[in-house]
Amino acid sequence: MAERGETAPRRKALVTGAARPDGIGAAIARRLEAAGLEVVTLDIAPGCTFQADLTADELPPLHDIDVLASNAGLPTVFGGAHSMSLEKWKRDLDVNLTGSFRVIQACLRGMRERGFGRIVVISSFAALYGMPAQVAYSASKAGLLGMVKTIAAENAGRGVTANAILPGLVASAGVLAMPKEIIDAWQDRIPTGRMVATEEIAEAVAYFASEAAASTTGQELLIDGGQTLNPLSVTGSVVRSMPPQ
């Protein structure tokens, strides 16, 4: 704690999976910088402060990280439970679950010593509801939720919080590059009528990372435009198409 008349030290944040300028990680980094944090980034791809494979490479020193936004993940391993190879299964869990754990562990010791830390993990709505043809992805994202709750419980008395954000369909460049008919079909299933913006995810991270969120820990926040709600009325019509009363 700073003495009277002294300026409090600037918090330092790490955002993983931030190499793509149009992705969730880059949006989080921009938002945390706007909040006044010193932000460093990490990705397997070039363009970040650190470049590393979270599954195998030695991690840079992370003992001075106060805020961790664990966003790095692998969303492109497809396969049903009856056909997915063990190699693909392991790759998904290694990146999405074990990679996230490695970074959290590297940051957590310093957070505990200083009595302050904010850990925000980007999971997925698939963690709660599954996703056909992505059994390993869904399992890895569900594993993050158990990890977050355990870390939250272990560190609640040490000034360290841990929370998870569960995005639905996000309007990132990778998704928007899909054929228009697929995008339209997906959007038709979202009650708000549009995909989630990367900035909306970043705004939630900024709250969990803030001083004001000191009593918010072990929580799961769905940001999916109502995608996991039942939008049908008893007459079979879609709620958002019903006329105002």
> Residue 69: which of 186, 161, 196 has the closest Cα?
161
Confidence at residue 215, expressed as pLDDT on a 0 to 100 scale? 98
Q: Are 110 and 60 in contact (CB under 8 A)?
A: no
Range(s) of the domain holding residue 156: 12-176+194-227
Nearest in space to 202 (alpha carbons), one of 12, 1, 3, 15 = 15
C-alpha span between 241 and 231 (Å, rounded): 10
User: What is the pLDDT, as a whole number, of residue 232?
Assistant: 66
**Tens of pLDDT, residues 96-148:** 999 999 999 999 999 999 999 999 999 999 999 998 989 999 999 999 999 99
Q: What residues act catalytically? A: 137
19 is a domain residue = yes
Could you give the CA distance from residue 157 to residue 115 in angstroms, rounded to a whole number? Answer: 9
Asked if the structure places residue 113 within a domain, the reply is yes
Strand partners, 191: none
Residue 188 lies in a domain: no
Provide the pLDDT confidence category of residue 50 given band limits of 50, 70 and 90. very high
Q: Rounded to an integer, what distance in angstroms lies between the CA atom of residue 168 and that of residue 172?
A: 12
The proportion of the chain whose per-residue pLDDT surpasses 70, expressed as a percent, equals: 91
pLDDT at 241 over 90: no
Q: Enumerate residues 6+ apart whose C-beta is below 8 A from 169.
A: 175, 186, 187, 190, 195, 196, 224, 225, 227
Q: Residue 237: what pLDDT?
A: 57
Domain membership of residue 112 (yes or no) is yes
Angle of helix 86-93 relative to helix 135-155, nearest 10 degrees, comes to 30
Residues in the chain: 245
Q: What is the pLDDT of residues 213-237, one digit of tens each?
A: 999 999 999 999 998 887 666 665 5
**How confident is the model at residue 154, as a pLDDT?**
98
Give the pLDDT of residue 239.
Answer: 56
pLDDT tens, residue by residue, 147-199: 999 999 999 999 999 999 999 999 987 778 778 887 888 888 899 989 999 99
Residue-wise DSSP of 97-114: IIHHHHHHHHHHHHHHHH
pTM metric for this prediction: 0.90
Whether 77 has a pLDDT exceeding 90, the answer reads: no
CATH number (domain holding residue 123): 3.40.50.720
Tell me the C-alpha distance between 140 and 210, whole Å: 27
**Number of domains within the chain:** 1
Across 30-59, average pLDDT: 97
Mean pLDDT (the chain, rounded): 91
One-letter amino acid at 70 equals S
220: which residues sit within 8 A by CB, 6+ positions away? 123, 128, 145, 148, 163, 164, 165, 166
In a domain, 140, yes or no: yes
Look at residue 62 and tell me if it is in a domain: yes
Residue 232 lies in a domain: no
Domain assignment present for 37:
yes
**Predicted local confidence at residue 185, as pLDDT:** 84
pLDDT of 174 reads 73
- What percent helix, strand, coil does the chain show, rounded to 5? 40, 15, 45
According to the model, what pLDDT value does residue 243 have? 46
